[in-house]
Structure formats: structure tokens, C-alpha cells
Amino acid sequence: MLNKEKEFYSTSCKLIVGVDEAGRGPLAGPVFAAAALFAPDFADELIDDSKKLTAKKREALFDVIKEKALAYGIASVSADDIDKYNIYEATKICMKKAIEQIGIDYDLIITDAMPLYVKGKKVIAMIKGDAQCLNVAAASILAKVSRDRYMDELDKQYPEYGFAKHKGYGTKAHIDAIMKYGPIDHIHRKTFAPIKFLIDDSPKLC
């Protein structure tokens, strides 16, 4: 069971927000981030790093987390803004947007290894935080499920790209589709290789 947060609880630190992202690496779609805040005595042995869970388990836990959390937030930053700011800065923007949705006061933020400045709050960027902290793991699930759902909807609009299967990552099938149909405006990250090398030579779908 994940309980690294227990090391930080004290009379001056009673509520901790966990933050994580999903989708920094794909060639298409937004980056998503989520924030989750549980009561200090909350426990659920099923909540774990989203990468260690099946899609079915993540989907089931998504609703549990939203129901049991004292507060949570889910945000996204578009492919256009990723190209504008770069993925590192876009991820930080996204995380802050998720944190802003936490409607109750809290004492500490723990992110999954992402240094972050939030005015008036202490932030700990913990390596493998999603594998150690319950709140960060919960955030990873919220972000991952939200992004996967988005990509599944995108697949219905552009079935030829196979987004439901690869979720926008750079698989051979996805790259082949980009080479055949071209990158989609506002969907594909045009500053990411290999897309940035293909733009000038590929036809555009829209």
C-alpha cells in the first residue's frame, strides 16, 4: 500500500495534494494533469501508479477516486500550446491548472518528479512519486483515464489514425498514418520529431 505521505503529515501539515500528468511523450493530443487530495486516514490498497494497472482497473478506480477524494482537479493543455511553450512548460501549466481546481486549503503539494512553483505552497518533486504516494498515484489515474478517453473520442473523428490503439504515441502504425494522411492541425504536435521533419513533405487532412 502506498503511504509515503505519512512521512510528511504533522501538526502543520494535515492535507497533501498529489499531482501527476499523462501524455508528455505522444505525438498527438493534449497533455493531461490531475491533482488529488485525500484525508490523511484514507487508504485504498488498489490505488497504484497508473502504469502498473490495466485499463479496466484504472477505469474502475477513476470513479472511486472522484467519490472518495476530498477534492480533485483534472486539466489539459492542447497540442497547439505544447508547440507554443514546449512540452516541459506546458506540463507545468497543466499541473497548475489542475491544482487550481482544489477548492479547499491544503498544506503541501507532491508532484511526480516535476519541479513546480505554486505561490504560498511548499512543493516536493518526488522521484517516482506515483509509485510511493497514494495521492500522486490517484492523480496519475485521473490524468491517464481522462487522456485515454479523449484519445478514444478522437479516434471516432479520425479512425484512419488509430488513436484508440496507440493513444497518440509514436508507434509504427501511427507514423505510417501521418506519412500517408499528414498531421492533423490542432491535434498533432508539430514540434515533435518525426512530425516536424514530415510537415513540409506530407499532405494535410484538414
CATH number for the region 4-155 comes to 3.30.420.10
Quickly list DSSP for 17-86. Answer: EEEEEE-SS-SBS-EEEEEEE--TT---TT---GGGS-HHHHHHHHHHHHHH-SEEEEEEE-HHHHHHH-
127 pLDDT band, cuts 50/70/90, is very high
Q: What's the chain's length in residues?
A: 206
How is the chain split into domains, by residue range?
4-155
89-100 pLDDT, tens digit per residue, is 999 999 999 999
According to the model, what pLDDT value does residue 19 have? 98
137-150 pLDDT, tens digit per residue, is 999 999 999 999 99
From CA 75, how far away is CA 98, in angstroms rounded?
Answer: 5
Of 154, 204, 165, the C-alpha closest to 183 is 204
Cell numbers at 88, concatenated:
516541459
